[in-house]
Structure 1
Amino acid sequence: MSGSRVVIVGAGHAGGTAAALLRQYGYEGAITLIGDEPIPPYQRPPLSKAWLKGEADADSLALKPIEFYAEAGIDFRPSVTVTALDRGAKTVALSDGASLVYDHLILATGARAIALPIEGKDLAGILFLRTAADAEALKAQVGPGKTLVVVGGGYIGLEVAASGRALGAAVTVVEREARLLARVACEQLSDFFQARHEAEGVGFVLGATVTGFEGADGRVSGVRLDDGRLLACDAVVVGVGAAPNDELAKSAGLECARGVVVDLDARSVTDPAVFAIGDVACRPMPIYDRMFRMESVPNALEQAKQAASAITGRPRPAGECPWQWSDQYDVKLQIAGYAFEVDQIITRGDPASGRFALFHLQGDRVQAVEAINSPPEFMMGKTLILNRTPVDKAKLANPSISMKEVAA
């Protein structure tokens, strides 16, 4: 193994973690970590929160100090992209003219924000939030006296709205659907977050489509809606979803289905020398008996463990329950599982108290839980989902009965 080489394409949370785990698991061969950003791997969730509010920077969010990579014998190459993948020769061509041979290739290329293909989309001041550079650009343009329009009422959009208000900006969220979080949460949770944001002064325009951006002197000054209204603004954040960066994989003939199709070792089903992890992977979800592409830090970490274990010959890690979170104001939302094929939602606790959980059930089994400021419900919910444990619905709905007793 000492004479072999792993090349990791993408230096985000997934790629950076995979590089560190390979060394932790005893891999002695060469490791090259290729990243298109100028800084080492860092945590991305705080970009929409702590970074915007000036509470974090590249150093504080770094997964490892920059010195770690040299000390661990990891060849970190920032500001470089892979331009071509030759699976026959097991080589990758880099944007700086170099070429690398690999024994194992890990694709951790992540996902990119979806742009709106409408008039004015290239005006200055129309921003996205995927990278530290994006967050820094946005931070420079929001503050007291500024008006921010957020296009997209998903979690990223709402987190940006919360941070914008904390910075003193006027914020309006435009959502195409009739309610917030329509694609990712139930109606009760949508109503809760809308009320919480409105209490903080955020405005909402629901059921409206953005048809164009208007500007002056090359900079955005307004957002045009399908009903003719024009929302004046100083900056816009577009948060309408993300698409996997799987073009390199497709060009090399790897099977993709809105992401690189992999097995439970995060190994490509097309080529055993290639792995895909994080936002770019379409992976099995045994709990739900389906394939799915997940965008979350826990998923990136789990798949990094899978790939590093397979490459170093360690046993496959135990399966995990997928989870994610969102912080907005004093609200911590923790989500476990996915609400696939749900036939009932049980509310545990009182939403008016700001502390409750929504359990999504299929029969007597929990498929997902959305927990607002309720860590016990989240933690035990994860266990119930992973173990497919039947629950007593009456006990689950009664907050006076502990979650340990519910799960017993």
Structure 2
Amino acid sequence: MSEPRKIVVIGAGLGGASAAAAVRERGHTGDVLLMGADPRRPYELPALSKGVLLGNADEPDWVHEEKYYGEHDIRFTPGVTATRIELGARLVLDDAGGEHRYDRLVLATGSRPRSLPVPGGDLSGLHTLRSLDDSLKLRSAFTEADRVVIVGAGWIGSEAAAAARAHDAEVTVVDPVRVPLANVVGETVGGVFRDLHAEQGVRWRLGEQVAEITGGPGGVSGVRLATGEELTADVVLVAVGAAPRVELAHAAGLDLSDDGGVAVDAGLRTTAQDVYAVGDIASHFHPRYGRRVRVEHWANAKDQGTHVARNLLGENEPFLASPYFFTDQYDLGCEYRGLADPAADELVVRGDLAAREFTAFWLRDGKVAAAMNVNMWDDGDALSALVDGEAKVTAEQLKTAELASLA
């Protein structure tokens, strides 16, 4: 495979910016175009629901310094959206009238917040959280609000609840699930987060459905539950997950996966020649799991973006990294590595759940499938090795042995 003359990257988030930077760092001398719909330079998303929303920062973590792109001869076009891909002609068209030919193409179009399909779901003043503007608007609203209702008890909803409480708002979180985050970490560990928020004054309305967002021309006034009860609110945040932005890929004829993402092989290649996908939209065939995995977390976008540069420039290396994410809520911080099925895997807890100082492991067929350290910071490397190596261990070993020795 000859070295490409021109690489086009659609999407200037963390995944796209990491791919553009990595091809330069690997010595590519051809043209690199990075197209971004956001008018700002690429930034990372985690701070939007953490430091920025809390008021500890006014800016996100930028992927690179502003001068980086010019200094590395990356043509960055902020505020420009790709509108069509013509695979046969190897051509990308944008909403500014531009036409861009490519030898290799990377799709890194990310996700959008899912809407709530109920009456009032499109009312003015209803908040979602995905961009820096979203975060700044929501922070301003939190500081002025007496009552906040958050629909969704996932990671974004939980972190936003912690931020709203930090701004002294009354907070109610509504979700049909019995225990927050149970689909990711199971009911036992999810219960730790539930109790943490309850101690901080958050009111849970778990196992309940939202029937309507109430309000009128002046904006949102609350949430009506399926029972008929109305929760009044100055601010309503909908945090019910994210949908991959695959419309461009689908219109071009690329294969999509059952999980809604763009189907890519182990090396992040789509079904079209010389077209790759990374980050939230990539439904990646992961060799370790023997199936497709689509991950919507910071590390996945960064690592896939960096990795795809190798294959853009002629290598054929599978992407093997384990999923990773982190969260900070009140005085709880944690990191999660791997991919658990909490409904089927064996949960092993090392440490003290009640004190919120523990490491949780999920065992599958006697092997470590995932690990989550909560307010425990000394064993990160060992946990990565246990998960990446699918270490075969017993529950008793995980509870009592030195973790580095098991890895």
TM-score, normalization: structure 2?
Answer: 0.95
Cα distance in 2, alignment partners of residues 169 and 247 from structure 1: 38
Equivalent position of 1:210 in the other structure: 210
Equivalent position of 1:84 in the other structure: 84
When the two structures are aligned, how many residues end up with a matched partner?
Answer: 403
Cα deviation for residue 140 of structure 1 reads: 1.6
Q: How does 1:292-311 map to 2 (within 5 A)?
A: 292-311=293-312
Q: Report whether the alignment pairs 1:33 with 2:38.
A: no
The range that moved more, 311-320 or 228-237, is 311-320
Cα distance in 1, alignment partners of residues 371 and 55 from structure 2: 32
Cα deviation for residue 249 of structure 1 reads: 0.8
Q: Secondary structure at the match of 2:198?
A: helix
Equivalent position of 1:16 in the other structure: 17
Cα distance in 1, alignment partners of residues 254 and 76 from structure 2: 25
What letter corresponds to residue 33 of structure 2 in structure 1?
Answer: T
Cα distance in 2, alignment partners of residues 50 and 343 from structure 1: 33
Cα distance in 2, alignment partners of residues 291 and 15 from structure 1: 21
Q: Relative to structure 1, is the Cα distance of residues 275 and 71 closer, same or farther in structure 2, using a 3 angstrom cutoff?
A: same
Q: How does 1:7-406 map to 2 (within 5 A)?
A: 7-58=8-59, 61-143=61-143, 145-257=145-257, 258-268=260-270, 270-314=271-315, 316=317, 319-340=320-341, 342-398=344-400, 401-406=401-406
Q: Deviations over 1:85-123 (max 9, x none)?
A: 100001011011111111111000011111012111122
Cα distance in 2, alignment partners of residues 283 and 314 from structure 1: 17
Cα distance in 2, alignment partners of residues 83 and 134 from structure 1: 24
What letter corresponds to residue 260 of structure 1 in structure 2?
Answer: V
Cα deviation for residue 405 of structure 1 reads: 2.7
Cα deviation for residue 177 of structure 1 reads: 1.2
1:392, 1:406 within 8 Å by CA — same for their partners in 2?
Answer: no
Aligned-pair identity (%)? 37
Cα deviation for residue 367 of structure 1 reads: 0.8
Cα distance in 2, alignment partners of residues 100 and 393 from structure 1: 55
Cα distance in 2, alignment partners of residues 74 and 168 from structure 1: 44
Q: Relative to structure 1, is the Cα distance of residues 7 and 355 closer, same or farther in structure 2, using a 3 angstrom cutoff?
A: same
Q: Relative to structure 1, is the Cα distance of residues 156 and 89 closer, same or farther in structure 2, using a 3 angstrom cutoff?
A: same
What letter corresponds to residue 362 of structure 1 in structure 2?
Answer: R
What letter corresponds to residue 224 of structure 2 in structure 1?
Answer: R
Q: Relative to structure 1, is the Cα distance of residues 342 and 379 closer, same or farther in structure 2, using a 3 angstrom cutoff?
A: farther
What letter corresponds to residue 232 of structure 1 in structure 2?
Answer: T
Higher RCO (C-alpha 8 Å, min separation 6): 2
Q: Secondary structure at the match of 1:184?
A: helix
TM-align CA RMSD: 1.7
Unaligned runs of 5+ in 2: none
TM-score, normalization: structure 1?
Answer: 0.95
Cα distance in 2, alignment partners of residues 364 and 213 from structure 1: 46
1:370, 1:378 within 8 Å by CA — same for their partners in 2?
Answer: no
Q: Secondary structure at the match of 2:88?
A: coil
Cα distance in 2, alignment partners of residues 145 and 131 from structure 1: 21
